[in-house]
Amino acid sequence: MKYCVYTLFSLKDKKLYTGFTADLKDRLSRHKRREAQSTMNRRPLKLIHCEYFINEKDAKVREVFLKSGFVRNNLKKSLQKTLSTLTTLC
């Protein structure tokens, strides 16, 4: 089984959301249908980053790491071109 750590960009509030799932397609669908409490009022959302792992524990550790302030800021910097393109499309 594969596990995914993913990052969404909210076109509404211009913030990132990082999550973990074993089924990315289903999880994105739940975000889209407003079934995910954490992003319910932050739509529309765009998937901007994902990483796959074969070990669930490794994926969870990576999720926590990406959610840390320092790393989250670095992720924003490394995806600056993508984020600026998405922001101009709004």
> What are the sequence ranges of the domains in the chain?
3-57+65-82
Q: What is the per-residue pLDDT for 84?
A: 82
Backbone phi and psi for residue 7, each to the nearest 5 degrees, phi listed first: -130, 130
CA distance 87 to 41: 18
Q: Return the SS3 of 87.
A: helix
Q: pTM for the complete prediction? A: 0.86
Q: What is the pLDDT along the chain (90 residues), one digit of tens a residue?
A: 799 999 999 999 989 999 999 999 999 999 999 999 999 999 999 999 999 999 999 999 999 999 998 888 888 888 888 888 877 755
Q: Which of 74, 53, 54 is closest to 6 using CA atoms?
A: 53
Strand, coil or helix: 65: helix
What's residue 90's pLDDT? Answer: 55
Tokens representing 53 are 């792992």
What is the per-residue pLDDT for 55? 97
Instruction: Identify whether the C-beta of residue 62 lies closer than 8 Å to the C-beta of residue 4.
Output: no
Residue 29 has which token pair? 């669908």
What does the alpha-carbon distance between residue 10 and residue 27 come to, in Å, rounded to a whole number? 16
The predicted pLDDT at position 69 comes to 82
